[in-house]
Amino acid sequence: MTPSAPAPVSTGDRIVAIDVVRGLAVLGILAMNIVEFGLPQHAYGNPAVAGGATGADLTTWLWQSTLFDGRMRALFSMLFGAGIVLINERLAARGLSGSAADVLLRRCLWLIPFGLVHRFFLQWTGDILYIYGLFGVLAVGFRNLRPRTLLVLGIASLFAFLPIELRRYSGVAELRDDAVAAQQFAAAEEEVPEDLAAALSRWQRRTKPPVPEDNTAEIAAMRGSWVDIVRLRWDHNHRFQHAFVYHYFLWDVGGMLLIGMGLAGFGFFAGRLRARTYAMFFVVGVAAAVGSYWFAREHAAVSWSRADIDMHWWRQVLYPWLRGLTGLGWAALLILLLRTPLAGALGTLLGNVGRMAFTNYILQTLLCTSFFFGWGLGYFGELSRSELMIVVLVVSVVQIVFSVVWLRVFRFGPLEWLWRSLCYWQRQPMRR
C-alpha cells in the first residue's frame, strides 16, 4: 500500500497538553514583551530607567523577573524542538520517513522571512521567529538521535555561557581596576595616564544612574512615524539579528531546542510520564523561581547598578538554568492540572490559544504597536510598569476570545494555515 502524502496533524490527533503549554507560553511572553512595547528599551532589565522602580512597579518587576523573564521563551524553544521530533515520528509512523526532512526544513526555512517581516516591517525588536527558523534547520539534523543524547547535547550547549560570561567578566573587571587606578592618580594629584583616563570615562558611563532625559529622543521617535522608528532601531535590529544571534542565541535557543527534542522523545510534553515525575519537575521549577527572586531582590538592593559585576556574573551564568527549570515547572504544573477537573477549562482557555500560537504571537505585535507606537495611539512611555499589566490582561482576553471563536469555524489560525500550506507545499483545507 502506497503511503499518502504528508499532511498536518488532524484536530482529533492533536496533543492537548502541548497546546495548553504553548498557550501559556504565548500569553506569558507578553508579560515581558509589554515592557519593550511600551517603555524605553533599557527599562526591560532596569526599572530605574523608566516605568517606576517603587511600590507596585517594583513588585511587578520582581514577579516578571521571577516567573516570566526568559521562562516563556525557554518553553517556546523547547516546544519548537519537541515539534520537530513529533512531526518526524508521525510521518515515520505513516511510512513517510523520506518526506520528513523535506517537510521539517520547509517548516523552519519559512519562519526566516516571517521573522524578517516581523522585525523590520512591524518593528518588533524581540522577534524570535527568524532565530527559530535559523537554528531549527540545524536541529532537524539531530531529530533521529536518542532522547538521552539530545538532552546531553542541549545541556552542554547551556554550559557555553560559562566561558562566555567569564570572558566578559574579565574584561569588565579589568575596566573597573583601571578606573580605580585612575582615581588613585587623581587623588594623589598626579597626572592620570591617557589609557586609565579613558577607562575611567568608560566606567563612569557604564555605572551612571539613568536619568529621564536619557529617554527623550527614544520616546519622541517611538511616538513618531514608522520611518522615525525604523531610523531609531535600524542598527539595533541588525545587531540583534546578526552578531547577537551567534554570540548568544546559538547556545541559548539551540540548547533549549535540543532539550525540548529530548524531552519529547521521553513523552514529557505529551503528558505520558507519571504524576510523581511532573511533581518533581514542578518542585524543581519552584526552587529555580525562588533563586531567581533572590537574585532580583539583590539586584534591586543595589539600585540595578552595573558596578556590582560579581553579582551580575552569577546572574548571567545561572540565568539559562533558572529560566529553563522554571519554564519546565510551569509545564509540569499545567500537565498535572490537565489530570484534574480543570482540564476542560484549560483546554478551552489555553489550548485554543496554543493551537493558534503563531497567529497570536503576531497579533500581540499588531495590537501593542497600534496602542503604543506613533502610527497608532502613541502611548509609548506613558504607562508605568504595573499599568502595563492592564494592557497585558486586555490583550490576553482578546486573544483567548478570538482563538475560541475562530477555531469553532476553522481548522487553523490564519497564519498557521499559511505556514502549513507552505510547509506541505499544498493549500490546506481551512474550514472545519
Range 146-170 average pLDDT = 95
The verdict on residue 25 lying in a domain is yes
Judged against a pLDDT cut of 50, whether residue 1 lies above it is answered with no
- The yes-or-no verdict on residue 349 having pLDDT over 50 is yes
The b-or-e profile of 70-84 (16+ CB within 10 A means b, else e) is: bbbbbbbbbbbbbbb
What would the mean pLDDT of 341-357 be, rounded to a whole number? 94
Residue 290 lies in a domain: yes
Work out the angle at residue 302's Cα, subtended by the Cα atoms of residues 299 and 303, and round it to the nearest 5 degrees: 85
Mean pLDDT of the chain: 93
Where helices occur in 94-160 by DSSP H, the ranges are 97-109, 111-116, 129-140, 147-158
Per DSSP, what are the bridge partners of residue 431? 410
Asked if residues 27 and 353 have their Cβ atoms less than 8 Å apart, the reply is yes
Whether residue 180 has pLDDT greater than 60: yes
pLDDT at 77 exceeding the cut of 50: yes
| 38 part of a folded domain | yes
Range of the domain at 201: 11-423
Cα distances (Å, whole numbers) of residue 382 to 8, 38, 222: 44, 8, 12
Summarised one tens digit per residue, pLDDT across range 318-330 is 999 999 999 999 9
Tell whether the model's pLDDT for residue 3 goes beyond 60: no
d(CA 399, CA 359): 9
Residue 165's pLDDT band (boundaries 50, 70, 90)?
A: very high
Minimum mean pLDDT range among 289-298, 307-316, 376-385:
307-316
Asked if residues 401 and 411 have their Cβ atoms less than 8 Å apart, the reply is no
The answer to whether 152 and 270 are in contact (CB under 8 A) is no
On whether residue 312 sits in a domain, the answer given is yes
Query: Average pLDDT of 251-258?
Result: 96
In-domain check, residue 387: yes
Mean pLDDT of 191-219: 91
Q: Percentage of residues in the chain with pLDDT exceeding 90?
A: 80
**404-430 pLDDT, tens digit each:** 999 999 999 999 999 999 988 889 888
The more confident residue out of 206 and 4 is 206
Q: How far apart are CA 130 and CA 127, in angstroms?
A: 7
Report the share of the chain in percent with pLDDT over 70. 97
Q: Which distant-in-sequence residues (6+ apart) come within 8 Å of 120 by Cβ? A: 230, 237
Q: Which residue has the cell 523590520?
A: 120
Sign for the CA dihedral angle at 209, 57, 27, 34 comes to negative
- Could you give the number of structural domains in the chain? 1
253 located within any domain: yes
- The Cα 17–Cα 8 span in angstroms is 18
Q: Please check the confidence at residue 58 and state whether its pLDDT lies above 90.
A: yes
pLDDT of 310 over the 50 cut: yes
Would the pLDDT of 50 be above 60? yes
pLDDT, residue 238, reads 85
Question: What's the burial of 348, exposed, middle or buried (CB within 10 Å: 0-12/13-18/19+)?
Answer: middle
pLDDT tens digits, one per residue of 273-287: 999 999 999 999 999
pLDDT at 357: 96
In a domain, 205, yes or no: yes
Residue 3 lies in a domain: no
Cβ–Cβ < 8 Å for 254, 31: no
Residue closest to 364 by CA, chosen among 133, 126, 17, 130:
126
Q: Is the pTM of this model over 0.95?
A: no
**Mean pLDDT value across residues 10-27:** 88
User: In the prediction, which pLDDT does 12 show?
Assistant: 64
Residue 239 has what pLDDT?
84
